[in-house]
Amino acid sequence: MKTRVLVLVALCALLPSAALSQALTSLSSVRVGYTTRKNTVKPTGELKAQIDALDAQIAEAGRLGRTGELRRLYAKGVTLLAGRAWTAAADYSSSLVLRTPAVVVDSSKPYSVRLEQIYTPSLTLQNAVTARVALRQRPAPPAPNQPPQEPAIVKDFGSFDGVGRDLRESPYFFDLDLQDVADGPYLLTVDVSSENQRIGGATLTVALRKGLGELTTRLETAAARASEDLKAEILFPIDRMKNVNRGRLELRTFDPDRDLAAAEAVAASVKSGKDPYAGRTGDFRRHYRLDAANEIIPYRMYVPAGYNGSRAFPLIVALHGLGGTEDSFFDNYNKALPPLAEQHGYILVTPLGYRVDGSYGWGLGTPPADPSVRRTQDLSEQDVMQVLQRVRKQYKIDDSRIYLMGHSMGAIGSWKIAPKFPDIWAAIAPIAGSGAPDTLDKVRHIPHIVVHGDADPTVPVTGSRNIVAKLKELGTEHKYIEVPGGLHSDVVAPNLAAIVEFFNTHKKSVKPQSRE
């Protein structure tokens, strides 16, 4: 064991688990990944019997609220559907997780990490367990049709004996010295072995930056001198860092280098008496405080080069899918939507929807029974509507030409939000979604363009077919594009131009809803 690292086993009894947290991939995303895999494989025979039995266990674990067990069952299902055996070692490895007080780390200070388990695995350990810890380069996405490469080690912290066989009862603590590591994103890895044989491992993505405390103080001082509108822009990275470190959000929702630099730029503008967003066009990010959540929320905008406030522009509100962010319609789908907005003269805004799995509310349906889920969905809807309100106040928007679109969860969200606020939208464009046909009477006056692939393994095409059948019954103007062989995401980019063209030809004739 290397002496430069201290193992703090005794501290596990002194620190509350809430102080050492990380955000796992949302259970909703895990469930959708499993369902998509199952629908793609279409298991038969013995595999189908195994999956059917597993689904019964999943239903029971969900009913009892056993989230750790759900993660185990989903991991088992994905493994079986991939044609691999679910072994005791696989079960053990899936149980492992790294917990930390922060994933955005001031590397000038000691860094505590603990290895624990989210459920009790089936593997029986008779002998001593050893953990090897390393900091690695954050791997780039593999090239198409190429296997992922093992990321290079930046710093090897060595091996540690005495790891508990039950890491739920006795988590294992490490104190890591990161002072000699350059700022940037990294992957912290722990490989666990017994009798010199690897039996599992855990990884954690971290972002290192020296002097975070001093930078935070400077930004807070600058924000105190800013207007309320710009204060949120300066304080966003501090607020987001807090929520990421508390495990409320995944690190991938925060880019420390980009977001801290942007906040410093706004602070510099405030100091010189300028508003950095006045007259700004092109692609940029904004932030505001969602009071009901007591949290600063990001959204992203595209403003055409020709906008100068002299005339009203149409507006597209685009809602991302499950696991996506406000960046999804900018950075994904061949990055096709912003150029279309420029070409056709639309302002484009993409809300986060509070959380990557916020679901944009519950529409006209029954609120969720779980108070935590209900709060998240309520704030998700509020975020969309408050971002819309902000854009309508800050820009000259043609109230007869406000459009709503979304993909997957965003499409489902479009069919929740449109019936709840039916006086706003000139047309809506759900892609690969589903909805409640009995709510469509509220939007019978709103033209629809609906896109879905008939081979979608994630959201079955019947979701859109049922909606379209109801639109026909109601006499609602609509255009339905069903893509032969189309999957869940590959139908988006090829049909964005058709969606914008549809928007071009539809203008609301009813009196617009008040902005207040």
pLDDT computed for residue 1 by the predictor: 35
Domain limits, CATH 3.40.50.1820, in the chain: 290-504
Domain limits, CATH 2.60.40.2550, in the chain: 1-210
1-210 has which fold? Immunoglobulin-like (2.60.40)
The whole-angstrom separation of Cα 160 and Cα 190 is 10
pLDDT computed for residue 16 by the predictor: 32
Q: One-letter amino acid identity for 373? A: V
The whole-angstrom separation of Cα 250 and Cα 141 is 18
pLDDT computed for residue 411 by the predictor: 98
The whole-angstrom separation of Cα 104 and Cα 157 is 19
**CA nearest to 411, candidates 499, 315, 514:** 499
Whether the Cβ atoms of residue 181 and residue 208 lie closer than 8 Å to each other: yes
DSSP string covering 87-101, please? -HHHHHHHHEEEE-S
For 126, the token pair is 């008779």
CA neighbours within 13 Å on the CB side: how many for 240?
25
Q: What would be the CATH architecture of the domain defined by 290-504? A: 3-Layer(aba) Sandwich (3.40)
pLDDT computed for residue 290 by the predictor: 97
pLDDT computed for residue 18 by the predictor: 34
The whole-angstrom separation of Cα 411 and Cα 453 is 13
DSSP string covering 418-454, please? HHHSTTS-SEEEEES----GGGGGGGTTS-EEEEEET
**CA nearest to 296, candidates 352, 257, 251:** 352
Output the tens digit of pLDDT for each of the chain's 516 residues.
333 333 322 223 223 333 334 667 888 889 999 999 999 999 999 999 999 999 999 999 999 989 999 999 999 999 999 999 999 999 999 999 999 989 999 999 999 999 999 999 999 888 889 999 999 998 877 777 777 788 999 999 999 998 988 999 999 999 999 999 999 999 999 999 998 899 999 999 999 999 999 999 999 999 999 999 999 999 999 999 999 998 888 899 999 999 999 999 999 999 999 999 999 999 999 999 999 999 999 999 999 999 999 999 999 999 999 999 999 999 999 999 999 999 999 999 999 999 999 999 999 999 999 899 999 999 999 999 999 999 999 999 999 999 999 999 999 999 999 999 999 999 999 999 999 999 999 999 999 999 999 999 999 999 999 999 999 999 999 999 999 999 999 999 999 999 999 999 999 975 544 333
